[in-house]
Structure 1
Amino acid sequence: MTEATPGPGPRPCAALAMSADTAAAVLDTESLAALGAICDLVPPPVLDDLTTPRARAVLARVDLLVTGWGCPPLDEEVLAAAPRLRAVVHTAGSVRGHVTDACWERGIEVSSAAAANALPVAEYTLAMILLSGKEVLERAHAYRADRARADWLRTPRTVGNYRRTVGILSASLIGRRVIELLRPHDLDVLLYDPYVTDADAGELGVERVEPAELFARCDTVSVHTPLLPTTRGLVSRELIAAMRPGAVLINTARGAVVDQEALTEAALAGRIRAVLDVTEPEVLPPDHPLWECENVLITPHLAGSQGNEWRRLADLAVAETARWASGAGFLHPVRRERLAFLA
């Protein structure tokens, strides 16, 4: 374990760099007060444009930026105006949109709230796995149409969550959390991740398989792969064709990871079911056939942190700021060498 880098002193200067809407949503009065107790926090307005004279004046004296959705890129020009900047604490997940190569070359330390944002996504995924296992969506539609209860003793044995097989595509932060949440349930869990060994899989309590086997064996496949050049279209036509009749594909990652045309064809044919919190594009065109497909549930990218869950992001950012200011170092650092594997 490397020695923690000490902070600049007991009262570093910090500023918020994000959209005004993000700041209002994520950082409530209590969170701002907690940040203010740790550092000299530049008062509003937040920095949503780093080219203005005020922004340049603020950048000249900050040691740390607390960033969020809507933060402009921290490029060479911005860093030249921020000679004291040593750390970035991000109140959301991915830092790809604003942390540039110039930051890494400067040696700026970076923290992310990806671990906090993973929790609600995993909870959403668990809920959808269990609900789809009971065929809740389809049976609710039938109940509404018939206004009568079907003979429950004639329920097909394909319905239920006992000994179903669930496949996890990628042992990401979210994928690993889903695996944890599945443990109390009577489910068999398979995993595909090219960076996970058999020993790692054993520690996770899952069976490691290749993609073709994952899609062929599982009743439900849940996608947790970050969108990278190597993962675009990873869930291919061939893998979708290999899915069991009536199997469920859950995607809370990115729409472009899945061959959406092939998914649409399979869903419209009634071969598979799907739960899509993400699509390609987002939002689908109004006339896209998936909107009217009764065996597909589309939700508006709501699995991640929303509402009171934003407070979890703020709490993590405050805790990371406190650790850095004390010289303890980040608990959730983002490493440049890991960027190729992160969302």
Structure 2
Amino acid sequence: MYKVAILLTRPMAESIFAEEDLADLRRFAAINDPRNLPEVLTADKMLELIRGADACITCWGTPPLTPAMLAAAPNLKLVAHAAGSIRNLIPPELWQTGCRVTSNAPVIAEDVAQTVLALTLTSLSRLWENAAATRAGKWLGGEANVHATRRLNGLKIGLIGFSSVCREVIRLFKFFDCDIRVWDPYVCPAEMRRWNVTWMELDALLAACDVVSLHAPANPDCRHLLNSRNLPLLKDGALLINTARGLLIDEPALIRELQTGRIQACIDVTDPEPPAADHPFRSLPNVVLTSHVAGGHTLNGRKRLGANAIVQTHNCLVKGLLSFEIRPEMLEHMA
């Protein structure tokens, strides 16, 4: 029987694991009891739990793995990360051991894409403003023509970064017969044609699209992709959505554009987080600011994270198969 170390806090384990999924895990592996996990996981506790393990499951709240932990688990074959980004979890030394790595980024991508769709539909329908008006005692029905609304069907959608989230967004928005444009300097335009979308240079995309959604990674070369030079290219009435990373946008430059009132923005991520109490994103009427909740935080979706980590662990240990395997050369272009 294999040994699988569950390297989570107890609240996180309770959040992502269903009892039936843990029962499946116990059928092929000895595990540490999630009920005995600490409220806060320390490196010392991780070192104790990972000793002699064949695989480990990590998530939000798991401290970075260390060379000492790898030395304590010389037969470690898999790190199954039940969250998304592994950027701050995996030490460089791990890649020399033959241990494989996977994450739940594709699962979380579904949540993020649904959030992007929800933000798009509610913003185009001006539901935020209408709800604020009714709370203020007004009743501005459609016949009042106060809030000019738009339907999603047929609009030009610009997606920045051909990530797993971007691909899920494409799947959802295709139902609305949208004209989808994508910019990603590392993706071949031929691949875009396979997805039946149009590759477009960034400046042209910003100028052409009714909705622009960011899906690029938080890498140095992506810092301030949108800035004082290209944000003015956004067409009047455009909707800008950022559910990726705050550093992708030069916030002072975006604030200046928003203050003109000519565009809308839905912002789920900022740089830094949280934004200051007096940050303009909190008060501008044409901004919807949410607190980094786009992906992985749905009550029913959380259990999928745990179940998928267990499935990947089983497939890797028992069959040698692994979905969404992460290799070191991929990190440069990942969140």
TM-score by length of 1: 0.91
Q: Which residue does 1:6 correspond to in 2?
A: none
Please say if residues 7 and 49 of structure 2, whose CA atoms lie closer than 8 Å, have aligned partners that are also in contact. no
Please say if residues 134 and 161 of structure 1, whose CA atoms lie closer than 8 Å, have aligned partners that are also in contact. no
Deviations 1:175-199 (A, max 9, x none): 0110011111032111101122222
Please say if residues 88 and 108 of structure 1, whose CA atoms lie closer than 8 Å, have aligned partners that are also in contact. yes
Secondary structure of the residue aligned to 2:221 is: coil
314 and 58 in structure 1: CA distance in 2 versus 1, 3 angstrom threshold: closer
Secondary structure of the residue aligned to 1:171 is: coil
Q: Which amino acid aligns with 2:289?
A: I
1:143, distance to aligned residue in structure 2 (A): 4.4
Please say if residues 35 and 318 of structure 1, whose CA atoms lie closer than 8 Å, have aligned partners that are also in contact. yes
Please say if residues 18 and 72 of structure 1, whose CA atoms lie closer than 8 Å, have aligned partners that are also in contact. no
1:19 aligns with 2:12: no
| Distance in 1, Cα, partners of 2:76 & 2:189 | 42
Q: Which residue does 2:68 correspond to in 1?
A: 77
Gaps of 5+ in 2: none
**Which of residues 292, 305, 309 is equivalent to 1:313?**
305
1:144, distance to aligned residue in structure 2 (A): 4.1
Please say if residues 6 and 49 of structure 2, whose CA atoms lie closer than 8 Å, have aligned partners that are also in contact. no
Q: Between Structure 1 and Structure 2, how many residues are aligned?
A: 331
Q: Which amino acid aligns with 1:338?
A: M
162 and 143 in structure 1: CA distance in 2 versus 1, 3 angstrom threshold: farther
Secondary structure of the residue aligned to 2:176 is: coil
**Which of residues 230, 233, 237 is equivalent to 1:239?**
230
Moved more, 131-140 or 146-155: 146-155
Secondary structure of the residue aligned to 2:102 is: strand
Question: How big is the alpha-carbon RMSD for the aligned residues of Structure 1 and Structure 2?
Answer: 1.9
Q: Which residue does 1:182 correspond to in 2?
A: 173
Q: Which amino acid aligns with 1:137?
A: W
**Which of residues 328, 332, 341 is equivalent to 2:320?**
328
**Which of residues 259, 265, 273 is equivalent to 1:282?**
273
| Distance in 2, Cα, partners of 1:327 & 1:162 | 44
| Distance in 2, Cα, partners of 1:80 & 1:101 | 14
1:130 aligns with 2:104: no
Moved more, 232-241 or 20-29: 20-29
Moved more, 116-125 or 58-67: 58-67
| Distance in 2, Cα, partners of 1:152 & 1:38 | 63
Q: Which amino acid aligns with 1:330?
A: L
| Distance in 1, Cα, partners of 2:48 & 2:149 | 64
| Distance in 2, Cα, partners of 1:139 & 1:57 | 55
**Which of residues 117, 120, 123 is equivalent to 2:111?**
120
| Distance in 2, Cα, partners of 1:141 & 1:153 | 16
1:41 aligns with 2:31: yes
1:266, distance to aligned residue in structure 2 (A): 1.4
305 and 57 in structure 1: CA distance in 2 versus 1, 3 angstrom threshold: closer
Moved more, 288-297 or 38-47: 38-47
| Distance in 1, Cα, partners of 2:141 & 2:59 | 49
Moved more, 233-242 or 29-38: 29-38
1:31, distance to aligned residue in structure 2 (A): 2.6
1:120, distance to aligned residue in structure 2 (A): 0.5
1:156, distance to aligned residue in structure 2 (A): 7.8
Identity between Structure 1 and Structure 2 (%): 33
1:269, distance to aligned residue in structure 2 (A): 2.1
Deviations 1:239-264 (A, max 9, x none): 21111112111000011111111111
Q: Which residue does 1:7 correspond to in 2?
A: none
Secondary structure of the residue aligned to 2:222 is: coil
TM-score by length of 2: 0.93
| Distance in 2, Cα, partners of 1:284 & 1:215 | 25
Secondary structure of the residue aligned to 2:226 is: coil
1:88 aligns with 2:79: yes
277 and 57 in structure 1: CA distance in 2 versus 1, 3 angstrom threshold: closer
1:135, distance to aligned residue in structure 2 (A): 2.2
1:215, distance to aligned residue in structure 2 (A): 0.6
Q: Which amino acid aligns with 1:41?
A: I
| Distance in 2, Cα, partners of 1:162 & 1:56 | 53
Q: Which residue does 2:59 correspond to in 1?
A: 68
